[in-house]
């Protein structure tokens, strides 16, 4: 009987680990190669890019990026400010 062992790949640059092709974050949660590329790998410069093993690095991948996260924070901040103004106006109307 032949035993199949999982294929494990670990990036020596960032420590990302793939088990049988599935990325796992350091937290143990599953991840996306595209998100890892957008948040980490695409930020690498110079010789560091040679060490990166993520196949999505440098490609158009549609993964998460710091720019996307900043835009989401800005959107949530705007929504919160609008809600605060509504609440303040409602309190003023009650006084």
Q: What is the pLDDT of residues 14-37, one digit of tens each?
A: 889 999 999 998 788 999 999 999
Cβ neighbors of 11 (< 8 A, separation 6 or more) are: 17, 51, 52, 53, 54
With 0-12 CB in 10 A as exposed, 13-18 as middle and 19+ as buried, what is 30?
A: exposed
For residues 63-86, give the mean pLDDT.
Answer: 96
User: pTM of the full predicted structure?
Assistant: 0.76
What CA–CA distance (Å, rounded) separates 36 from 13? 12
For residues 40-65, give the mean pLDDT.
Answer: 93
């Amino acid at each position: 009987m032949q035993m199949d062992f999982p294929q494990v790949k670990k990036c020596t640059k960032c420590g990302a680990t793939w088990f049988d092709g599935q990325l796992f974050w350091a937290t143990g949660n599953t991840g996306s190669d595209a998100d890892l590329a957008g948040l980490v790998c695409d930020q690498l410069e110079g010789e560091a890019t040679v060490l990166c093993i993520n196949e999505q690095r440098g490609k158009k991948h549609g993964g998460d990026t710091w720019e996307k996260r900043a835009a989401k924070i800005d959107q949530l901040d705007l929504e919160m400010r609008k809600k605060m103004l509504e609440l303040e106006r409602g309190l003023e109307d009650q006084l």
